[in-house]
Structure 1
Amino acid sequence: MSAADRTVPVTILTGFLGAGKTTLLNRLLKHPDLTDTAVIINEFGEIGIDHLLVERSGDGIIELSDGCLCCTVRGELVDTLADLMDRLQTGRIRALKRVVIETTGLADPAPVLQAVIGNPVIAHSFRLDGVITLVDAVNGLSTLAGHPESIKQAAVADRLVLTKSTLADAGAITSLKRALAELNPRAAIIDGDDPAAIGPALLACGLYDPGSKIADVGRWLSDEAHDDAHHHHSHDHDHDHAHGKDAHFHQHAHDVTRHSASIRSYAIVHDRPIDPMALDMFIDLLRSAHGDKLLRMKAIVALSDNPERPLVLHGVQAVFHPPERLAAWPDPSDRRTRMVLITKDLPEEFVRDLFDAFVGKPRIDRPDRAALEDNPLAVPGMRL
């Protein structure tokens, strides 16, 4: 039995203060397909308020109070998931199709993700399915420019939901979408005011299709072949002469780009199966020496000991979910190793060179690449 069959998917619902998380949650919970969903609502402060706004009661609502998930109640979140697991296994509650964790608007999402994937006991019954981040279309640019936690919330998202779009200026929405795409080019940007977009499918971010249990690597890795260089250098080329209100939006977008310049999203693709020991050493070194800079990593890997059964990896900073082998490649015609990484203050070239070193891939020094394009027969700077 695969992990998808025996574990309950967990969705992290995050976003800065006032982005509309509880409103979205209310809309989702009205859908009949989400009947068997447990909701963990995080509260900040001594008295819970948000849980009163969620139109549901009973065992499905679990409130965490006295702090945010990223600090004082991290242990309580693990305890809550462990209690859910115990109640499921003992039959005290009916089977769950999904767990949704709504974080406080001030939460750093990384420790929340770690609580789900970093505990082996919890990982036996629950799997991180995805991160959905809400962004206020009216105040989104100024929030991203002024609050680092909101940048991290957007950077690690699988899907970005724009809320309050009907209240926002068209110029603000355009600038916000551009800033979000610069920050997280692989996350789908969804209109939260579109009723057709807000349903159970919104929560299905993970590797497995919830209906068919079929692995969909392309969806999970969200366009792993995305051309980052084009994305990061073509941005805002036609806005040099912004003025008036447009200049205001442009300045906020510039501030977001400036504050988030240290965050990068990129993919590593490798054509040949990898020695399991080489992969272990690469991951161990990356997370032990640079774990605080590794915001998120998702990967499907071809290993040389059994290339017919790919390995799935999912990590947040230094914490990784227990790896699992798929029964077969989702697409037999594409058996490449694909890794998507989101890093902060960790140069892309450093990670690529580290990977190349462990897999024994020849490397051409970047200063020589232009010369090589002019003379394909010359291979200067080639080294292991």
Structure 2
Amino acid sequence: MSDAPRRPEPIPLTVLTGFLGAGKTTLLNRLLRDPAFADTVVIVNEFGEIGLDHLLIEQVDDDMVLLGAGCLCCTVRGDLIATLEDLLRKRDNGRIRPFRRVVIETTGLADPAPILLALIYHPYLVMRYRLQGVVTVVDAVNGASTLEAHPEALRQAAVADRIVLTKTDLDGAAADALRSRLRDLNPSAPIDPADVPAEALLGGLFGLAGKSQDVRAWLGADAVEDHGHTHHGHGDHGHHHHDVNRHDAAIRAFSLTSDAPVSRASLEMFLDLLRASQGAKLLRLKGLVALAEDPDRPVVIHGVQHVMHMPATLPAWPDADRRSRIVLIVRDLDRAFVERLWDAFLGRPRVDAPDAAALTANPLAIPGS
């Protein structure tokens, strides 16, 4: 038996985002009172933005306070990576008590992509933290106009794993219209009311093994496919062709599937080529894939733009559906091109499919990109 120290289990981390005035602070204040948030570190931009006085127990240092809810709260001073590393040092050295999860509240104008990239690209952080999901808060009264006017708000909604709709009591009609638009923009994300339980917001990618509902909720492939049936017509291989009249044509979600297991080499070459040639247009990519080399243990993949998270292998399929499913949320990327690329690496016959070997040898010569 090896005497090498066992690597600590990664700490689940949730990103809480939303545009200015959407209600992030109100939601966070409510969550901090919830027992499910005990042993959580909350990273905020400034302490003054959330009402901590009723929860404060003591000042730990200049950047951190201990809350009565059993949480630690700290501020980002400069670099988020440095803040996350400092938390680990204090935890490992016993300077703060162990925490079970981390929640990051972003600024209202933040594009979530750089935060997600930092979490899945940094070689040390990727071993110690595991991205649980992105929760985006949207204001039911001003949400539609905010999505129209601010690209940051669009990206916040598009990359969300879960959307929380606030202020629905002020204008029911506007809320219904906004829900429809958000489903067009991101059909894979559940839309919850502002009183959603903390346990629901803390669910996600972390610890998916054997939890079929968690896997399906995180991946969201069923919702994307159902939305495709509603908005698109069927084509070859079960693909759904793009409707030019849909909302937010620049940002869309769609899924790729395969009934047959995929070889590891084909999957890696597909992902490498897609991110190398189109990475800037990939807002999110999430997938559950059956590998030909080990079809009984599916692989979880996810990434942001050019960066892919370290794949995780589940010990077994969570339910009877053993198809490979990859959900993509893209901006200004031709869906048909991605489908042709997927079919080429899977060896599916298509008249317009490029040759996989030729693409691998010369990725710059990609047609239709």
The two structures have a TM-score, normalised by structure 2, of 0.81
The residue correspondences of 1:112-151 to structure 2 (distance < 5 A) are 112-151=115-154
Q: Which consecutive residues of structure 2, in runs of 5 or more, have no partner in the other structure?
A: 1-5, 57-64, 67-71, 234-244, 354-369
For residues 77-106 of structure 1, what are the alpha-carbon distances to aligned partners after superposition, in whole Å with 9 as ceiling and x for unaligned? 111111122222233322222100000000
Match among 8, 13, 26 for residue 10 of structure 1: 13
Per the alignment, residue 100 of structure 1 pairs with 103
Aligned counterparts of 2:337 and 2:45: Cα–Cα separation in 1: 37
Aligned counterparts of 1:335 and 1:89: Cα–Cα separation in 2: 40
Matched, 1:64 2:64: no
Per the alignment, residue 323 of structure 1 pairs with 311
Per the alignment, residue 182 of structure 1 pairs with 184
Q: CA deviation at 1:213?
A: 7.0
| Cα 1:54/1:144, change in 2 over 3 Å | farther
Per the alignment, residue 334 of structure 1 pairs with 321
Matched letter for residue 271 of structure 1: D
Q: Which consecutive residues of structure 1, in runs of 5 or more, have no partner in the other structure?
A: 66-72, 235-255, 367-384
Aligned counterparts of 2:256 and 2:262: Cα–Cα separation in 1: 13
For residues 189-237 of structure 1, what are the alpha-carbon distances to aligned partners after superposition, in whole Å with 9 as ceiling and x for unaligned? 1111xx4x2322222132536xx97464212212436234344369xxx
CA contact (8 A) 2:299 2:314 kept: yes
Matched, 1:199 2:198: yes
SS of residue in 2 equivalent to 1:17:
coil
Per the alignment, residue 222 of structure 1 pairs with 220
Matched, 1:300 2:312: no
For residues 83-138 of structure 1, what are the alpha-carbon distances to aligned partners after superposition, in whole Å with 9 as ceiling and x for unaligned? 12222223332222210000000000111111111112101111111111111111
The two structures have a TM-score, normalised by structure 1, of 0.78
Alignment RMSD (CA, Å)? 2.5
Aligned counterparts of 2:271 and 2:107: Cα–Cα separation in 1: 31
SS of residue in 1 equivalent to 2:294:
coil
Aligned counterparts of 2:283 and 2:33: Cα–Cα separation in 1: 33
CA contact (8 A) 2:13 2:129 kept: yes
CA contact (8 A) 2:144 2:178 kept: yes
Per the alignment, residue 169 of structure 2 pairs with 166
Aligned counterparts of 2:52 and 2:277: Cα–Cα separation in 1: 43
Per the alignment, residue 242 of structure 2 pairs with none
Aligned counterparts of 1:233 and 1:166: Cα–Cα separation in 2: 33
| Cα 1:308/1:4, change in 2 over 3 Å | farther
SS of residue in 2 equivalent to 1:105:
coil
| Cα 1:97/1:361, change in 2 over 3 Å | same
Aligned counterparts of 2:133 and 2:323: Cα–Cα separation in 1: 23
| Cα 1:232/1:263, change in 2 over 3 Å | farther
Percent identity, please: 49
CA contact (8 A) 1:51 1:63 kept: no
For residues 128-150 of structure 1, what are the alpha-carbon distances to aligned partners after superposition, in whole Å with 9 as ceiling and x for unaligned? 11111111111111101111110
